[in-house]
Amino acid sequence: MKLDVKICGLSTPETLAAALARGASHVGFVHFAKSPRHLDVAAMADHVGSVAGRAETVIVTVDPDDDLVTRFATEIRPDWLQLHGKESPERVAAIKASTGLKIMKALPIAEAADLAAIADYLNVADRLLLDSRRPKGSNLPGGNGVAFDWRILAGLDPAPPYMLSGGIDADNVVDAIRSARPSGIDVSSGVESAPGVKDVGRIHSFFDALDRLRMEEPARKARAS
């Protein structure tokens, strides 16, 4: 089972090291002032530099202006920019062209009608991230630790390669993967002990759940056939 795993909103060397040691394919750093996970450009550059090719690096940003996009591309040089705001398909294409970076476009999903946006971004973004819609009262467009009904995604035919996020943790990740069949899974709040505080033990528990799934999957497939 090939599944990318992104641990997002990292901010300490210890938790970054745990994510890398357990085989995260992507590690993410958030630049959004209202977020408890916010890092400035210099701190993100340090973390990205320390990854040294062991995983793909992702900068999460919300409706960045051109100056900020240029700073990400020149001062951090991550593998990916995750655009988590209201960026139009044209804006996504312009950011991709100006930076040469891979773009992950986050789309908010609450009901089946929200899947219509996928077609608008499919050919401009390198990957889509299907995340929960911002809950009422939250000032964060992501990182709210709230899941949506993954069964909505069963209607995607064919399903584009996408990462699934929103309220995923060690307890529900197996159900999320079996329900939605994403090509990647993205977790932030679900490996925290408090908002913005990543927890090494919870990171291990998360990967332990994925390891159990990988062990069980062949027998499950055999029973189903």
CA 6: distance to chain centroid?
A: 6
* Beta carbon nearer to ligand LGQLAAA5, 32 or 150: 32
Encoded tokens for 111: 């009901």
Stretch that binds ligand LGQLAAA5, among 66-74, 142-150, 176-184, 206-214 (CB under 6 A): 142-150
CA 4: distance to chain centroid?
A: 10
Choosing from 18, 30, 107, 185, the residue that interacts with ligand LGQLAAA5 (CB under 6 A) is: 30
* Beta carbon nearer to ligand LGQLAAA5, 32 or 96: 32
Q: How far apart are the first and last CA of the chain?
A: 17
Question: How near is the Cβ of 225 to ligand LGQLAAA5 at its closest, in Å?
Answer: 33
CA 87: distance to chain centroid?
A: 17
- Residue 196: count of CB within 10 angstroms of its CB: 16
* Beta carbon nearer to ligand LGQLAAA5, 58 or 124: 58
Pairing of strands 127-132, 162-164: parallel
Helix, strand, coil percentages for the chain (3-state, nearest 5) = 40, 20, 35
Angle, in degrees to the nearest 10, between helices 200-224 and 173-180: 40
Choosing from 5, 9, 78, 81, the residue that interacts with ligand LGQLAAA5 (CB under 6 A) is: 9
144 binds ligand LGQLAAA5 (CB under 6 A): yes
| Nearest residue to ligand LGQLAAA5, scored by beta-carbon proximity | 143
CA distances from 35 to 71, 93, 131, 165 (A): 19, 26, 16, 17
Choosing from 11, 15, 57, 188, the residue that interacts with ligand LGQLAAA5 (CB under 6 A) is: 188
Choosing from 141, 148, 206, 207, the residue that interacts with ligand LGQLAAA5 (CB under 6 A) is: 141
- Which residues, 40 to 99, sit near ligand LGQLAAA5 by CB under 6 A? 60, 62, 84
Interface ranges with ligand LGQLAAA5 (CB under 6 A): 8-9, 28, 30, 32, 35, 37, 60, 62, 84, 131, 140-145, 165-168, 186-190
